[in-house]
Amino acid sequence: NANITSAEDAAAAVLAGAEGCGLMRTEFVFMERRQPPGQEEQRRIYQAVSDALEGRPMVVRTLDAGGDKPIAYLDQPVEENPALGIRGIRLCQQSPELLRTQLQALLQVERAEPLQVMIPMISAIDEVLQVRNLLDELKAEVAPSCEVRLGVMIETPAAALIADRLAAAVDFFSIGTNDLTQYTLCMDRGEPALASRLDVLHPAVLALIEQTVKAATGAGIETAICGGAAGDMLAAPVLLGLGVRELSMPASLVPRQKARLRRLSIEQCSGLAA
């Protein structure tokens, strides 16, 4: 699968041989503007992305602003530690209209495949239950016949550690290895001096990924990887060995990664992970 931000990206993903979109980062729909896009504008953008995917699966992540993705007009107070501050779902809890408008727009997208909505920066079960309630309420209002699947990003150690409980509340997981590695190792993902040690193959990160996949498997749901590790040739086989069966990466990496991974068997990957 491909990680995308626009309809142009979606078309490139199809050309590159991606089987769908495993992560649409919607922050880009909100950036380089003076105010948030309205419901109709968002609906048109998401519809264009869906059309460009030509019936392939589409996972749309709700707004993940804050932290390393600041949005000027949202007027966030200066934070001492933005990575640990009001970002992702926390920002949407603080400004519920943002999420409400976005979900309403998404629910109106016409497509044959189910709509898949994913929430970023989850660290507690109540965050998921709040979004589930809101989604159910809006679906009844806006699009009762829309088929929706709700998933969460596993990108905080807390989410990985309560993965069994989260798995009972959602339809799929996608592991954000960029943030999961940053938060597990306490190393800023944007700090060049630490870049060589920001390693997804650190045993602590792998243990959290393994625990997440086990919880998902136990609950009968799928775990994808949408962080940078999915497109990494050294890491991807280990992740497959841990039970991950879906990888989402920039479209430009899809052909190479497909060609390389096809040469490996799952047994080889399991051996590597062990």
Label residues 91-117 b or e (16+ Cβ within 10 Å = b): bbeebeebbebbbbbbbbbebeeebbb
Site for Mg ion (CB under 5 A): which residue of 66, 67, 176, 228? 176
Amino acid at 274: A
Report CA torsion sign: 79, 26, 206, 260.
Answer: negative
Stretch that binds Mg ion, among 19-27, 97-105, 177-185, 186-194 (CB under 5 A): 177-185
When CB distances are held under 5 to 8 angstroms depending on the partner's kind, the choice from ligand PEP, Mg ion, none that residue 226 binds is ligand PEP
- How many whole angstroms separate alpha carbon 234 and alpha carbon 257? 11
Q: Residue 36: which of Mg ion, ligand PEP, none does it interact with, CB under 5 to 8 A by kind?
A: none
Smallest distance from ligand PEP to CB 125, Å: 20
Distance of closest approach, residue 53 Cβ to Mg ion, in angstroms: 22
Question: In 38-168, which residue ranges form alpha helices assigned H by DSSP?
Answer: 39-52, 89-94, 96-107, 125-142, 157-161, 163-167
Of 138 and 152, the one with the shorter C-beta distance to ligand PEP is 152
Work out what residue 25 binds among Mg ion, ligand PEP, none; the CB cut-off runs from 5 to 8 Å by kind.
Answer: ligand PEP
Q: Hey, which residues between 134 and 173 contact Mg ion (CB under 5 A)?
A: 155
The nearest distance, CB 98 to ligand PEP, in angstroms, is: 17
Number of H helices, E strands in the chain: 13, 9
Interaction partner, residue 139 (ligand PEP, Mg ion, none; CB < 5-8 Å by kind): none
Q: Is 155 in the site for ligand PEP (CB under 6 A)?
A: yes
The yes or no reply on residue 232 touching ligand PEP (CB under 6 A) is no
DSSP state of 265: -
- The span from the CA of 103 to the CA of 39, in Å, is 9
Residue type, 68: D
Whose tokens are 């727009």? That residue is: 105
**43-72 residues near ligand PEP, rule: CB under 6 A:** 64
Backbone angles phi, psi at 16, to 5 degrees: -80, -5
Residue from 36, 66, 176, 231 in contact with ligand PEP (CB under 6 A): 176
Least CB distance to ligand PEP at residue 181 (A): 8
* Shortest CB 179 distance to ligand PEP, Å: 3
Residues at the contact surface with ligand PEP, assessed by CB under 6 A: 25, 64, 155, 176-179, 226-227
